[in-house]
Structure 1
Amino acid sequence: MSEQGKVYALVDCNSFYASCERVFRPDLARVPIVVLSNNDGCVIARSADAKPFVKMGEPYFQVKERLRQKGILAFSSNYALYGDMSQRVMATIEGLVPAVEVYSIDEAFADLTGMKPPFEPLGQQIRARVQLYTGLPVGVGIAGTRTLAKLANHAAKRWQRQTDGVVDITDPLRRDKLLKACDVSDVWGVGRNMTQHLTRMGIKTAWDLAQADPWMLRKRFSVVIEKTARELRGTSCLKFEELAVAKQEICCSRMFGYRLKKIEPIREAVATYVARACERLRAQGSLCKKVRVSLRTGMFNPDEPKFAKGVVCELPYPTDDTRLITKVAMAGLENAFSPGYAFSKAEVLLLELCQRGEFTDDMFTGAQAASSDKVMQVLDSINAKWGKGTVRPCGVPAMPEWGMRRELMSPGYTTRLDQLWRVK
């Protein structure tokens, strides 16, 4: 156990995107899968059995024939499905442990401090419960610090058959054995460049990094790598954030399905992105003071003229009203747009966010009316009950022609009433 008596578990879904695609397709249980990025551009996720044949980030058009020859199926990214499945996984974990910090869409830290060992049965219970409730496989790493829990989770996946998906290294002897068996590149936060620097210093394993002088690491690299070394030795340095911190900026951006030369469809896109960003804004209880609208062309075609511009617009008062922010964003779009270019992407960025009551009202400016609050509350409640986009601004189309190309997307099994799973 760590020096402070802390115990953490990292629960991480195995090949999350690919596993989500398999939940409602039992026929794909033994079929290798890859998931593609926006507009079916690059490979961004792979099932374990697809990894030997395709690299992360490879353009789909380059590997399409190879995938066909190897019997690997490709899917367009279905973010609505993945997000919903993620919420189900996190809710399941929260029902089994005292506190949870959601770290990403497919992994969460659980604070097990105060619970009685052994912890491995609890890890197996988490795996079984998540599998039963969601159909998704997870690995569990348990240790005295978050960095060690990450490493234990890595071991649980790497040696899944031997460990049955759960590795507990709260015991110092087991911890040291794992540290000696793992490369320094396996450590959380140690990237490719850092690995090269450490290797030249003779630090090749996680054990070597744990034994290195923390002050030397801080002086030569950064406080981050110093804390990493201390965590590997069992000293908890990273704060557990049980409650999500409100974001200081909210961004919504997408590539268009094809190049847009006219401003009319770009207006639809910007209105759509504003609506999505404002939903997130209200979800965290924040207000927005500024909005930035950006446009850019494709940047990699040497035969295509390049152009990029962003415009920051001041709002009359802090607000979360989609209608007002859309109106101001449209004025910004007029300034950002330049005719004669083929635009590939638009971005909406909400800036200078503040919580209600955290700012001082200006006696010479207006404030958001109570009626606006009520309208937005009704909008969100209807969409929460009947699905996103049920009620939306008139400038937001239901099925835009400029939308992302997702020709290989699976149904929204859990997010669309018209696409529910059918059992025959």
Structure 2
Amino acid sequence: MRNDQVFALIDCNSFYASCERVFRPDLAKTPIVVLSNNDGCVIARSYDAKPFVKMGEPYFQAKEKLRRHGVVAFSSNYALYGDMSERVMTLIESMVPGTEVYSIDECFADLSGIQENLTNFGHGLRLRIMQRTGIPVGVGIARTKTLAKLANHTAKRLLSHTGGVVDITEPVKRDWVLRNTKVKEVWGIGRKMTAHLEAMGIITAMDLAKADAWTLRQRFSVVVEKTARELAGTACLDLDEVEPPKQEICSSRMFGKRLSELAPIKQAVATYVGRAAEKLRAQGSVCKRMRVSIRTGMFNPDEAHHAQGALVELPYPTSDTLLMTRLATDAVARIFRPGYRYSKAEVLLLDLRQPGEFSQDLFALKQPVSCDRLMQVMDDINQRWGSGTMRAATVPAAPDWGMKREMMSQSYTTRIDQLWTIKG
């Protein structure tokens, strides 16, 4: 790894809430929270909403408190968040030598070789992202990925002083951040590890950077050793520019209400198969088997409990939504039991490979070329006109069992019928 390598971590601030504000400028000064599936609990908060509600707090308990403090709640709109994330990441990729998308709202970037002042570059990047997408970001710049994470954390923690950008490539600035950061705030150091480290007298990030790396490896793991070395300025983690294909793909949702009939459960499973198959094709993979499962709510003592799954062997490696839907719904019919009130279904795609990686004999069945073409047309139509525009006939457009999303915003960027409109 090069000695002159420089990393940046660009992290979207309160990402879900920021996405909602892009198309609701009237809420620029209003606290916002975003809720989990079925409007269950708080999963995202704008900075000004944090004093009023805890992360993970059930919405039904916090509802009156939020209303009293003027906090606006939104149902989760993953189509909007995913599209806004792609716009931000594409913009970053156009401005830096290399990137690694770490999560939906975080991206590592390679700034090696950039000649201008890195703090100024960070502010320019931050400004351009805000101008082009409306999403505020923080930028942390350092010699290692772990230090870049720490710099980003500092940029947000001291936003009024940093302007959202912190460069700690210089040892003096790096050491100041290390001394003023608790070890529990270091990337990859969880609650249990924090307790172990604090018992050893390692309280700050600086303490961890100065600890004997070999001792940390013997006592804990190579991960902790690498973390300490990275904090000390030795890069151990490189930029992973290409994300490897996933080995499993899961599509799972709670129903909007309990279901006791087979037909709507089949519809739900068909819907989840469609979503999973889209992800499968997006990474260019095919699937040889899948697991379909259904279950009741497991925590109500007054309800009978039932959970069962079935493994489905596909006739050949495939990404065909229609074939997978037919076999998955047949499996549901086998495991469904009358008299239970089901709350959730799950489709898990297993044994994923790239086409041609499965070892087969000369006469084994293969996915027809016509099927590949049909799936490509389906994906093209859904990409252009919105997810679900073209789907299997067993999937309803607006099912009554669907997730409860009573406060969901429009899909401003992914559905042509929900484009942002400005009234004069």
Structure 2 counterparts to residues 202-281 of structure 1, below 5 A: 202-281=201-280
Q: Which amino acid aligns with 1:268?
A: Q
Contact in 2 for aligned 1:316/1:365 (Cα 8 Å): no
For residues 230-263 of structure 1, what are the alpha-carbon distances to aligned partners after superposition, in whole Å with 9 as ceiling and x for unaligned?
1101111123110121111111001100001111
Q: Which amino acid aligns with 2:354?
A: Q
RMSD after superposition = 1.2
Structure 1 counterpart of 2:401: 402
Structure 2 counterpart of 1:46: 45
Structure 2 counterparts to residues 52-201 of structure 1, below 5 A: 52-201=51-200
Q: Could you tell me the percent identity over the aligned residues?
A: 64
Distance in 2, matches of 1:314 and 1:320, equals: 13
Structure 2 counterpart of 1:323: 322
Contact in 2 for aligned 1:292/1:332 (Cα 8 Å): no
Given the two structures, how large is their TM-score scaled by the length of structure 2? 0.98
Distance in 1, matches of 2:196 and 2:73, equals: 37
Given the two structures, how large is their TM-score scaled by the length of structure 1? 0.98
- How many residue pairs get aligned? The number is 423
Q: Which amino acid aligns with 1:236?
A: A
Q: Which amino acid aligns with 1:339?
A: P
Structure 2 counterpart of 1:27: 26
Contact in 2 for aligned 1:295/1:308 (Cα 8 Å): yes
Distance in 1, matches of 2:397 and 2:304, equals: 31
Once the two structures are TM-superposed, the CA of residue 365 in structure 1 deviates from its matched residue by 2.6
Contact in 1 for aligned 2:35/2:43 (Cα 8 Å): yes
Contact in 1 for aligned 2:139/2:155 (Cα 8 Å): yes
Distance in 2, matches of 1:56 and 1:247, equals: 29
Contact in 2 for aligned 1:33/1:46 (Cα 8 Å): yes
Once the two structures are TM-superposed, the CA of residue 36 in structure 1 deviates from its matched residue by 0.3
Q: Which amino acid aligns with 1:222?
A: S
Unaligned residue ranges in structure 1 (runs of 5+): none
Contact in 2 for aligned 1:7/1:145 (Cα 8 Å): yes
Distance in 1, matches of 2:234 and 2:304, equals: 54
Distance in 2, matches of 1:167 and 1:192, equals: 26
Q: Which amino acid aligns with 1:24?
A: F
Distance in 2, matches of 1:244 and 1:188, equals: 20
Q: Which amino acid aligns with 1:190?
A: I
Please give the secondary structure, in 1, of the residue aligned with 2:147.
helix
Distance in 1, matches of 2:292 and 2:386, equals: 27
Structure 1 counterpart of 2:355: 356
Contact in 1 for aligned 2:385/2:414 (Cα 8 Å): no
Q: Which amino acid aligns with 2:317?
A: P
Structure 1 counterpart of 2:413: 414
Q: Which amino acid aligns with 2:81?
A: Y
Distance in 2, matches of 1:300 and 1:211, equals: 47
Structure 2 counterparts to residues 315-394 of structure 1, below 5 A: 315-394=314-393
Distance in 2, matches of 1:388 and 1:51, equals: 33
Please give the secondary structure, in 2, of the residue aligned with 1:374.
helix
Contact in 2 for aligned 1:307/1:341 (Cα 8 Å): yes
Unaligned residue ranges in structure 2 (runs of 5+): none
Q: Which amino acid aligns with 1:191?
A: G
Please give the secondary structure, in 1, of the residue aligned with 2:62.
helix
